[in-house]
Amino acid sequence: MKPLIMTPGPTYIHEDVRKALASEIINPDLDLNFYEFYKDTCTMLQKILNTVSDVLILSGEGILGLEAACCSIIEPGDRVLCIDNGIFGNGFGDFAKMYGAEVVYFKSDYRKAIDVKALEDFLNSDSAFKMATVVHCETPSGITNPVNEICPLLKRFGILTVVDSVSAIGGEEVKTDEWKIDMILGGSQKCLSAPPGLTFLSVSQDAWQAILERKKPITGFYCNLSLWKNWYSEKWFPYTQAVSDIFALNEAVQRLLKESNPQERHRKISKAVRKSVEAAGLELYPLDGFSSTVTTINIPQGITFNEINQSMLEDHNILIAGAFAFLKDKVFRIGHMGENCFEDKVYLTLKALNQVFIKHSIKINAAMHEVFVKEMSK
């Protein structure tokens, strides 16, 4: 039996989505129906993103969106502001550098959401940036940043806003246009609960202008978004589309849109998880900005991540996540995103965790699964 995957992506894939993945394929270049199908999928994504901007689906996992944004917008020597309060935030700067940017980091406390006031003070002293990168949900640390305040602020200074929302879209509220996001980046395998393999992104008028009016042509092909400008009117894709993955994504997005308020479901579950963990005497890694899609918990004294992970898997057949870089062996994470964000699955996970801690003689002040049930019935 496959383990229950309670990781922050990839997430469990619903049977209907798996069936769509297995549908007979069509020729995406020659069958005109596919252009309509692709467009319908983009239209549904526009609804989720709350945008009228163009949305594109690219064949490649989430990281492709980050790289495509940098590749298409940045010209060598451009100044890029990298807003950094975590591993993904900092890493975004590396992609900007690969495409020749002069990167300036705005650093904020790694255990807290971005300090918007401090960012404003910083911009008052230096705002000569073509573009800024910011991460919506810092998946390793479980922190959601206030992109609703950050992006309008950046735009006030005339800076293009590129948001990595890979682990937030679908689970957190996203208002791309209202929040003045020029490019928002998402992936198929997180809260949308489709198979890993696709990126999707929005491109605002300002972003298109930056892409199309460069002085130096874009280097490369696969990350070059300018090639996509007229895909629909010309009925032409830069490369053969991942038909099966897009069938699955379409089904997954339909499932999400059928639900009246998935963000509320994520908010409620995540809050109950935090209450349970804290009641047990465990410590959350974030001090504020708690994510609705992933909870990051400090590993208590007397146990290692490997011990937690191994017992969860061997005794309970549940897979949770650790973290990497400076958080490696310091925290463990429960992903409650998309199809994983339901009371039954989270209950089983907390009950198993509770037993794992008892087995390893770690003091637990309250039964996590019991607190969780109480919180959910409030």
Contact between 236 and 28 under an 8 Å Cβ cutoff? The reply is no
Q: What is the CA radius of gyration of the chain?
A: 21
Nearer to ligand PLP, 28 or 338 (CB): 338
* Span near ligand PLP by CB under 6 A; candidates 57-65, 282-290, 326-334, 357-365: 57-65
Nearer to ligand PLP, 135 or 323 (CB): 135
Q: Which of 88, 228, 290, 357 binds ligand PLP (CB under 6 A)?
A: 88
Interaction pattern, residues 152-171, with ligand PLP; x per rule: CB under 6 A: ------------x-xx----
Rule CB under 6 A: say whether 293 interacts with ligand PLP.
no
297: Cβ contacts below 8 Å, ≥ 6 apart: 277, 282, 283, 284, 285, 331, 332, 333, 334
User: By CB neighbour count within 10 A (0-12 exposed, 13-18 middle, 19+ buried), where does 283 fall?
Assistant: exposed
Q: Which of 41, 72, 139, 145 binds ligand PLP (CB under 6 A)?
A: 139
Nearer to ligand PLP, 110 or 357 (CB): 110
Q: Give buried/exposed letters for 9-41 (b at 16+ CB in 10 A, else e).
A: bbbbbbeebeebbeeeeeebeeeeebbebbeeb
Instruction: Supply φ then ψ for residue 243, to 5 degrees.
Output: -50, -50
Sequence-ordered alpha helix ranges (H) in 129-280: 147-156, 205-212, 231-234, 243-258, 262-279
For ligand PLP, which residue has the nearest CB?
Answer: 62
* Span near ligand PLP by CB under 6 A; candidates 56-64, 263-271, 295-303, 347-355: 56-64
* Span near ligand PLP by CB under 6 A; candidates 55-63, 145-153, 226-234, 273-281: 55-63
Rule CB under 6 A: say whether 187 interacts with ligand PLP.
yes
Cis ω before 195 (30° cut-off from 0): no
Nearer to ligand PLP, 133 or 355 (CB): 133
Nearer to ligand PLP, 136 or 345 (CB): 136
Interaction pattern, residues 6-25, with ligand PLP; x per rule: CB under 6 A: ---x----------------
Q: Which residues in the chain belong to E strands, given as ranges? A: 4-5, 54-59, 79-84, 102-107, 131-135, 137-138, 143-144, 160-164, 183-187, 198-203, 294-298, 318-319, 331-335
Strand partners, 333: 296, 321
**Cβ 361 to ligand PLP, closest distance in Å?**
33
Nearer to ligand PLP, 166 or 331 (CB): 166
**Cβ 165 to ligand PLP, closest distance in Å?**
8
Rule CB under 6 A: say whether 247 interacts with ligand PLP.
no
Residues at the contact surface with ligand PLP, assessed by CB under 6 A:
9, 61-63, 88, 135, 139, 164, 166-167, 187, 190
